[in-house]
């Protein structure tokens, strides 16, 4: 489980901020060789400096747009050529731009699916052959608590996270005989720059609907994800509410829909 440096290699998309950066920080302290992927090189540079100051000894960065399948394949090929292997892929890149369905242009629905689902798929597809040759590896996909039950105001975002859930569950079955461990994470609302951006367009009704879930720190979420992924769990469930929602969402869904209707009526009647 080591690259050319003698250290295991972790590739993290969305590694310049939020959950991806916090996972990189914690893995860096454990001695992993980190390769961070994100679109903006300036943010990657800041992330690398932050990781170095917190104990990471080897950090590489690659500017790549995960919606570009050719660029993703090229990045994975370059990493593999340099290190000979990839031991852990974390697909944390993604966007959330909430809004009511009637207010969201069709192009924005496509954009969120491209960034969240296909941005995940575009990295996994070239990584799986690398890990199959190794007969080992770990893939951690980042979905969302919004992948369990439909939420008003997330008609563009939630389908992309539902799709990641389906991909992860299928991959876990197909790859378990190959020495590849697949996990999928369902973080609740998490205090990240992406969450701050999301709140710029979040409808008032959606704010009230989601407020019950509270807010976790990115560091706390990352700790759960790393610990449970290492334990080989398929579902990574940070926070008590998500732990309850995972096995009980089908039973809770009718109650949650009733709660949402009540809140939506209040805002429609204003």
Residues with catalytic roles: 143, 157, 161
For residue 251, how many other CB atoms are within 10 A of its CB?
Answer: 8
User: Using CA atoms, how far apart are residues 15 and 21, in angstroms rounded to an integer?
Assistant: 5
Nearest-Å Rg of the Cα atoms of the chain is 18
Tokens 């370059």, located at residue: 78
Distance separating the N- and C-terminal Cα atoms of the chain: 59
Contacts of 40 (CB under 8 A, 6+ apart): 16, 63
* Residue found by looking up tokens 């509410």 in the block: 241
Q: Residue 123's CB: how many other CB atoms inside 10 A? A: 26
Residue 157 DSSP SS3: coil
Closest-CA residue to 244 (of 148, 162, 140): 148
> The tokens 């893939």 sit on which residue?
139
Cα 14 to Cα 44, 65, 146, distances in angstroms? 9, 10, 19
How many whole angstroms separate alpha carbon 25 and alpha carbon 59? 10
SS3 267: helix
Q: Is the distance from CB of 244 to CB of 193 less than 8 angstroms? A: no
Going by C-beta distance under 8 Å and a sequence separation of 6 or more, which residues neighbour residue 50? Answer: 21, 25
């Amino acid at each position: 489980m080591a690259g050319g440096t003698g250290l295991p290699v972790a590739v993290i998309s969305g590694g310049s901020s939020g959950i991806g950066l916090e996972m990189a920080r914690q893995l860096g302290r454990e001695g992993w060789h980190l390769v961070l992927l994100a679109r903006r090189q300036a943010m990657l540079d800041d992330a690398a400096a932050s990781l170095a100051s917190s104990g990471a000894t080897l950090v590489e960065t690659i500017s790549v747009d995960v919606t570009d399948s050719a660029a993703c394949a090229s990045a994975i090929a370059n990493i593999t050529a340099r290190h000979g292997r990839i031991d852990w892929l974390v697909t944390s890149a993604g966007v959330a731009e909430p809004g009511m369905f009637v207010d969201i242009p069709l192009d924005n629905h496509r954009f969120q699916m491209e960034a969240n689902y296909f941005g995940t798929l575009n990295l996994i597809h070239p990584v799986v052959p690398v890990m199959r040759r190794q007969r080992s590896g770990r893939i951690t996909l980042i979905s969302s608590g919004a992948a369990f039950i439909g939420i008003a105001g997330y008609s563009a975002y939630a389908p992309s996270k539902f799709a990641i859930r389906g991909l992860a569950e299928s991959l876990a079955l197909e790859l378990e005989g190959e020495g590849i461990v697949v996990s999928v994470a369902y973080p609740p609302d998490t205090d990240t720059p992406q969450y701050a951006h999301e709140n710029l367009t979040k409808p008032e009704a959606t704010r009230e609907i989601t407020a019950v879930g509270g807010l976790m720190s990115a560091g706390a979420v990352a700790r759960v994800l790393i610990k449970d992924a290492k334990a080989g769990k398929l579902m990574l469930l940070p926070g008590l509410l998500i732990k309850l929602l995972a096995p009980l969402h089908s039973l809770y869904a009718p109650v949650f829909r009733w709660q949402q209707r009540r809140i939506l009526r209040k805002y429609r009647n204003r």
